């Protein structure tokens, strides 16, 4: 591989030297490939790694995005609308079926199960002996 010196080509042309070479190589100015062929080879040496790198990065990003989407906690059901509403003692007795079912006791007092229409609710009653504030009770 490589260039054929002009002197050897001249001797071969005169017949004093027998050379065997590719027809495209005819002088010292010519190389093992013409300029456009060499340029294409050099471009391929650059383009192929760049494309491979871009494809690899896109694949990695796709995997991370897929993991992020599937690991996101999914909202279960619909969010409840929270609203403050005050009831009379008689209404609370009716909602809790006269405080029939106790579902827990805490620092504020006893929590009862009740129903408002078709919706099951927990009713907590602030105990007079509770030392915790009303703001915390409403949370």
Whole-model pTM over 0.75: no
In whole angstroms, give the CA distance from residue 62 to residue 42: 31
Tell me the pLDDT band of 110, cut-offs 50, 70 and 90.
Answer: confident
Distances (CA, A) of 13 to 9, 99, 110: 6, 118, 114
Q: Is the predicted pLDDT of residue 101 greater than 80, yes or no?
A: yes
Residue 45 marked in a binding site: no
What pLDDT is attached to residue 23? 61
Tell me the pLDDT band of 20, cut-offs 50, 70 and 90.
Answer: confident
Share of the chain above pLDDT 70, in %: 66
Tell me the pLDDT band of 52, cut-offs 50, 70 and 90.
Answer: very high
Please name every residue paired with 111 in a beta bridge, in sequence order, or none if there are none: 104, 124
Q: Is the predicted pLDDT of residue 33 greater than 70, yes or no?
A: no
What pLDDT is attached to residue 27? 46
Mean pLDDT value of segment 106-134:
79
Q: Is the predicted pLDDT of residue 87 greater than 80, yes or no?
A: yes
In whole angstroms, give the CA distance from residue 66 to residue 70: 6
Three-state DSSP class for residue 7: helix
Ordered structural domains, the chain, with CATH: 6-71 (no CATH), 75-128 (3.30.200.20)
Tell me the pLDDT band of 69, cut-offs 50, 70 and 90.
Answer: confident
What pLDDT is attached to residue 57? 97
């Amino acid at each position: 591989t490589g260039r054929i010196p002009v002197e050897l080509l001249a001797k071969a042309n005169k017949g004093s030297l027998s050379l065997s070479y590719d027809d495209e190589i005819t002088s010292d100015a010519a190389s093992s490939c013409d300029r456009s062929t060499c340029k294409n080879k050099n471009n391929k040496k650059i383009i192929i790694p760049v494309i491979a790198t871009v494809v690899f990065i896109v694949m990695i990003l796709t995997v991370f995005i897929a993991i992020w989407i599937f690991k996101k906690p999914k909202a279960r059901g619909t969010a409840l609308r929270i609203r403050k509403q005050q009831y009379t003692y008689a209404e609370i007795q009716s909602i809790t079926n006269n405080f029939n079912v106790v579902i827990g006791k805490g620092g504020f007092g006893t929590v009862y199960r009740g129903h408002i229409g078709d919706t099951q609710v927990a009713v907590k009653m602030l105990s007079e002996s509770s030392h915790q504030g009303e703001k915390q009770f409403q949370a």
